[in-house]
Amino acid sequence: MWVSVGVIVAVLLVTLFLKYVFGTSGPSPFDTDTREPPRPVELDKKQRNKVLKQGFLASRVPQDLDAIVIGSGIGGLSIAVLLSKVGKKVLVLEQHDRAGGCCHTFSEKGFEFDVGIHYVGNLEENGVFRCTVDQLTNGQLQWEPLENPFEQVVLGPPENRRVYPIHSGRNRFPQELKKRFPGEEKAIDEFMRLVKKCGDSVWIMPLLKLLPSPVAKFLAYTGLANCLSNFISYGPRSLAEVVNSLTENKELRAVLCYIFGTYGNPPKEASFSMHSLLMSHYLPGAWYPKGGASQIAYNMIPIIEKAGGAVLVRASVNRILLNAANEAIGVSVMKGQEEVHVHAPIVISDAGIFNTYQQLLPKEVQNSAAIQKQLSMLKHGEAGLSIFLGLNGTKDELGLKASNYWVFCENNLDELVNDYMSGEREKSLKSIPLLFIASPSAKDPTWEQRSPGKSTLSVVSFTPYSWFEEWKDEKVKNRGADYKELKASIINSVLEVVTEFFPKIKNRIEYMDAGTPISNQHYLAASKGEIYGADHGVSRFTAEVCATIRAQTPIKNLFLTGQDLIACGFAGAIAGAMVCGSTVLKRSLHMDIRALRKKLKHANTKKVQ
């Protein structure tokens, strides 16, 4: 009987999907290859700022808008570019003083720091993701590969450090692990097999968000989605559960789990499927944008402007405008003490699901059953903590490398994180058990031209938002002596670890500061200081959640884009924009980009011949 049910469901899915993909006649943003010969990377900060820092004025708002996007993170800019490429006039509104969201940069004392782009995977030539990024930037965003090994996993206290290089390459990664863990070949092979199984079946997540809601919910609630996809069946299983079933070696367990820091959940809480996505993402290698992260927004905004749209900053959206039928018709922007109303038939939010539902909608609307159901399915991710170091000296003089360090106090990762997060604030922050250390300046081949004789280091970790909440309403850069003292103690404790790995930076530090959860709240509009949006734990990747959290919100004409729709990070936010674009344009952009990639690959093959 179940075989018959499976056949019927498969036929139904194919029929619906084909109707969705081929049943529309509108243009696609991927109809043609829009890449142009790459221009020289713009290194002049003033020239970049002319594009990135266009302040909001009512007179700068284009007339007859087709859509408004709230937030200029990569999810917001991507959906704006997708709509612009089919002739839509789009206005992107950003509350910060520069565009880019987590892709923006800031400068202090001659040093430029990235906020959220530390490295990006899956950018190999002729890949689907590379093709997507190239089309979103018309081929102008250039990438530099990191070293190989691109990461070092460090376990243990200073007197007993164990270092494990992480190599890219689908074959080399497991091969190098086997050299370091003889006798664990079977466990490593099985881990790689499961990662591939989950990664290869991630297609069902966007499909559940694009199929008609009743069909998606039928697949979810009957359990058929679990049968169709390993990504869904492993979604509710924790990373620790799966890895611990493969090996008793605690050291290997930690190395297989190390990258949980890129989404924020320790192994006992992390979804194995989410972890598989990240592992698959970096297996082909890691890259960094030439010219720094600001090049991302800099090369996307002109595409929006060419279609008649605009990207305006210092434009704080305080509410979404609704008509009498509770349909979205525009937004209200605060300009000083006055509201400026901007209207459009479509409103798309890249502000995150919590901000969108809880801050931008009227109470009676956000209290509706449909919205409350979605909010009940998600929770806030962990708050981010960043330390920025500006150094006097070149990368060679300081011994900096184009690779990353993941430093853990020991190999019992869950216990480390739990003790830290549940401990006393001052004590915990003096010994942070998880640190990600990277040198943006060492990764960027244009850095020496932009900042000769200078270098940077960035350190990232996590912290409870509650530890900093008492200062959230105080003025930025003037939050009081106790706040500054706490930041200073964090920096000093982190420096002890950083200088162990980079001893040459001692006495070469010209600038240092820490960004706390309330810094993220101010600059990124992160409601609880989170840097990865909604939590990525086991509950998020069930079939029910995937089918319920969709681009189309319960409010007509209001859509979601970005990392809360699919997953966190640069690639996750773009994936969210692709789902949003597919929903708005009523066609599968995933099929469109694959068709374009196939065409380009065929053309390249003919050229070689």
d(CA 34, CA 137): 9
Say if residue 169 is in the same domain as residue 265.
yes
Q: Give the total number of structural domains in the chain.
A: 2
User: Is the confidence at residue 6, as pLDDT, over 90?
Assistant: no
d(CA 57, CA 132): 32
Say if residue 491 is in the same domain as residue 604.
no
Say if residue 17 is in the same domain as residue 33.
yes
Say if residue 340 is in the same domain as residue 329.
yes
Q: What pLDDT score was predicted for residue 34?
A: 97
Say if residue 269 is in the same domain as residue 170.
yes
d(CA 440, CA 419): 30
Of 507, 524, 541, the one marking the end of a domain is 524
- Is residue 266 situated within a structural domain? yes
pLDDT average, residue stretch 94-98 = 97
Strand duo 347-349 + 67-70: pairing = parallel
- Is residue 210 situated within a structural domain? yes
DSSP states of 5-42: HHHHHHHHHHHHHHHHHHS--S--TTSS----PPPPP-
DSSP states of 308-361: T-EEEBS-EEEEEEE-TTS-EEEEEEEETTEEEEEE-S-EEE-S-HHHHHHHSS
Say if residue 372 is in the same domain as residue 392.
no
Say if residue 252 is in the same domain as residue 314.
no
Q: What pLDDT score was predicted for residue 93?
A: 98
Indicate the pLDDT class of residue 602, thresholds 50, 70 and 90.
Answer: confident
- Is residue 396 situated within a structural domain? yes
Q: What pLDDT score was predicted for residue 601?
A: 86
- Match 């880019």 to its residue by tokens: 100
Say if residue 340 is in the same domain as residue 388.
no
Say if residue 92 is in the same domain as residue 180.
no
Quick one: 418 exposed, middle or buried, by C-beta within 10 A (0-12, 13-18, 19+)?
middle
pTM (predicted TM-score):
0.95
Structure confidence by residue, pLDDT tens digits, 385-410: 999 999 999 999 999 999 999 999 99
Q: Name the helix (H) or strand (E) containing 583.
A: helix 569-585
| 51, 52, 93 from 60: Cα distances, Å | 14, 15, 12
Structure confidence by residue, pLDDT tens digits, 328-355: 999 999 998 899 999 999 999 999 999 9
- Token pair for 303: 């595409």
Structure confidence by residue, pLDDT tens digits, 153-205: 999 999 999 999 999 999 999 999 999 999 999 999 999 999 999 999 999 99
Say if residue 249 is in the same domain as residue 369.
no
- For residue 467, the domain's CATH number is 3.90.660.50
Strand duo 120-121 + 558-560: pairing = unpaired
Sheet containing strand 286-289, edge to edge, reads 120-121, 286-289, 143-145
- Is residue 123 situated within a structural domain? no
Q: Which domain holds residue 94?
A: 1-100+302-378+549-608
d(CA 182, CA 191): 15
d(CA 16, CA 39): 43
Say if residue 499 is in the same domain as residue 421.
yes
Q: What pLDDT score was predicted for residue 5?
A: 52
Q: What pLDDT score was predicted for residue 481?
A: 93
Please name every residue paired with 270 in a beta bridge, in sequence order, or none if there are none.
Answer: 537
User: Rg of the chain's alpha carbons, rounded to an integer?
Assistant: 24
- Is residue 293 situated within a structural domain? no
- For residue 347, the domain's CATH number is 3.50.50.60
**Does residue 322 or residue 609 have the better pLDDT?**
322
Please name every residue paired with 434 in a beta bridge, in sequence order, or none if there are none.
Answer: 408
pLDDT average, residue stretch 10-24 = 52
- Is residue 134 situated within a structural domain? no
Q: What pLDDT score was predicted for residue 1?
A: 47
- Is residue 138 situated within a structural domain? no
Q: What pLDDT score was predicted for residue 197?
A: 96
- Is residue 390 situated within a structural domain? yes
Average pLDDT, the chain: 94
- Match 């990277």 to its residue by tokens: 438
Structure confidence by residue, pLDDT tens digits, 459-486: 999 999 999 999 999 999 889 899 999 9
Structure confidence by residue, pLDDT tens digits, 31-60: 999 999 999 999 999 999 999 999 999 999
Say if residue 327 is in the same domain as residue 407.
no
Question: Omega of the bond prior to 38 within 30 degrees of 0, cis?
Answer: no
